[in-house]
Amino acid sequence: MTECPGGVCVTCSDGAVPVTVLELTGNALALVDTGRGIEEVSVALVTTAVDTVLVHAGEAIAVVGDRQ
């Protein structure tokens, strides 16, 4: 397993983290900017474009930006 910067990442965090969707990559996945780097997360549970979403355990769980 890769060491997370600062010990926390959107995949193994115990809390939801706001991230910015940079690109939808298909198959319900997106590249997101976590503020510490770029990660790929699932967006299967939300309808989003380039926006801010809350991510928990590598899964976008809510859209918190203006576009939904």
Q: What is the pLDDT of residue 6?
A: 61
The residue-averaged pLDDT of 19-29 equals 93
Specify the fold of 8-63: SH3 type barrels. (2.30.30)
The answer to whether 40 and 8 have CB atoms below 8 angstroms apart is no
d(CA 48, CA 68): 6
Q: What is the pTM of this model?
A: 0.72
